[in-house]
Amino acid sequence: MLFLFLLAIFFNITNSSKYTDEFIFDVELTCNLRNRAFWTFSVQFFDRDSFLNPDDSVGPEIHHAHRPGTAKFRITGSQTEDEFFNYNYEIYAKIFHDCTESHQSVQLIINITPLCQHYRDCHYKLQANLENSWGIVGRRIFLNMTDDNDYRKYVHCI
């Protein structure tokens, strides 16, 4: 039994897909609190892995200070490997922001569905109102999945 467990760990650690999946994240973050001249945030997207591997960042971390309103930006990234027996990327956004009444910096984790399949490039559009929002939430968002022989299909999940 121990041998099977060690074998599973070995395959989990050594597997790589050798295909580079491209990600595009079009992001709109809103803060309309009126008691401030500007608000700050940082955002980064990750692929959730098992307890055996750390989560992989998908694209750079963005830091920004913005006047009240909506900050719009694009993050691009890629992923070249994932865990053995895993067929989807489990994407989430980790956001730190101070769009709170107390001006305190808080963390917001947005778990994004639908999942992005391996060997397909994924284009996500994330819109979030950050006002007094923190903790962990799930969000179904627009997902544009592509592959080499297929025109872009636009999927809207409700």
pLDDT 10s digits, 131-143 = 999 898 765 554 4
Percent residues over pLDDT 90 in the chain: 44
**What digits encode the pLDDT tens for the residues 32-64?**
998 889 999 999 999 988 777 788 999 999 999
Among 110, 119, 125, smallest CA distance to 148 is for 119
pLDDT score recorded for residue 106:
95
Q: Within 10 A of 86 (CB to CB), how many other CB atoms are there?
A: 17
Q: Where are the alpha helices (DSSP H) in the chain?
A: 2-14
What would the two tokens of residue 80 be?
């070249």
- 5 part of a folded domain: no
- 56 part of a folded domain: yes
**CATH code for position 140:** 2.60.40.3330
- 138 part of a folded domain: yes
pLDDT score recorded for residue 36:
87
**What digits encode the pLDDT tens for the residues 85-99?**
677 888 999 999 999
Percent residues over pLDDT 70 in the chain: 72
Upper half-sphere CA count for residue 133 (Cβ side, 13 Å): 19
Q: What is the C-alpha to C-alpha distance for residues 2 and 128, in angstroms, rounded to an integer?
A: 46
- Domain boundaries, position 96: 19-155
- 72 part of a folded domain: yes
Residue 22 has pLDDT above 60, yes or no: yes
Distances (CA, A) of 45 to 8, 24, 32: 27, 10, 24
Work out how many domains the chain is built from and give that number: 1
- 13 part of a folded domain: no
